[in-house]
Amino acid sequence: MLALEELKSELGINQELTEIVDALKVIAVTEFRELDERRKERSSIFLDAFERFFRLIDFSTVEHPYAKDTTGHLVLLMLTSDERFMGGLNKRIVDTALGYPGGDTAELVVMGTQGADYLRSLDRAYTTVTEVSSKKPYEAALYLREYILGKGLEAELGRLVIVYPKPMSFLVQTVEALPILPCTELLRLEKHERERRYEMLAPNEEVLIESSLDDLLEYLMSTWIAEKLLEVLEDSRQAELSAKAVRLEESYQTLGDNRKKLMHQYHRVHHEVLDKGMRETFSAQIMRR
């Protein structure tokens, strides 16, 4: 059994750890909520601007590699995290990617050393992306866009699918597989807005277009890819924060349970020390008499 002074020391350490864990949990929750509010506002502005653009210009006649459905070369980009408490979610990301249709022969690209370590244990060939951080999603989105476009996927009429963690709620994270190339989601938006474009223009009104439609569409697709990557990276960051907060809450509860046990031991030992002292004092008084 621990001595009284040792129990007091253990209680002090427990209290310090509890305060640290609680502070880290509050930081994670606050950052999660702030990121959620910022992205909602930005996403609304971006989508509104894109929708208006497609109402002005008709791209239906433009042929572009990114705009063609293809069954060509498949690249799976897995966004795993090097944050603590993410081991289980990282494993789910890799397993989801490998289970994707065509994943057994796809080219694998992984962001994060934990995901790379898991792929290495499975003896799967892969390429790593190491110069990005989920804590800087905008810079990471631009870097990944250049990385993707620089791989020459358009020349191979390739497909790119991103597999990443997505927070369904603060307590629940799932794994999503999002096709980026070809830009089918953007083309669905273009088709929908093309049908509504005449609601915005006057009957005899025309739009003056100085650049070629090919260049305009390529620019829009590049911008769209960057926006989708930013959304994905922000989802990944929120999943990191929510997973961290949940694990910190579990640790907080565990420390609380340990504190109760230590307090019980402390009071019991303290009572035993007092009882022993009283008995020794009483015995000494009897002997003096």
pLDDT along the chain (289 residues), means of 10: 73 84 83 74 69 67 65 84 79 92 88 88 86 73 81 62 84 84 67 53 60 76 83 84 82 85 76 67 67
- The span from the CA of 231 to the CA of 241, in Å, is 15
Asked if 107 and 127 count as a contact pair (C-beta separation under 8 A), the reply is yes
The pLDDT value recorded for residue 1 is 47
CA dist list (Å): 132 to 80, 146, 166, 171, 261: 11, 12, 18, 26, 44
pTM of the model: 0.71
The pLDDT value recorded for residue 99 is 92
The pLDDT value recorded for residue 246 is 81
- The span from the CA of 122 to the CA of 94, in Å, is 10
pLDDT, tens digit (0-9, with 9 covering 90-100), for 213-247: 777 777 877 888 888 888 888 888 888 888 888 88
Q: Cα dihedral angle (232, 233, 235, 236), rounded to 10 degrees?
A: 120
33-244 maps to which CATH number?
3.40.1380.10
Cα Rg of the chain, angstroms = 29
Q: Nearest Cα to 190, choosing from 35, 42, 6, 50?
A: 50
The pLDDT value recorded for residue 234 is 85
The pLDDT value recorded for residue 134 is 63
CA dihedral sign of residues 63, 67, 69, 75: positive
The residue ranges of every structural domain in the chain are 4-26+246-288, 33-244
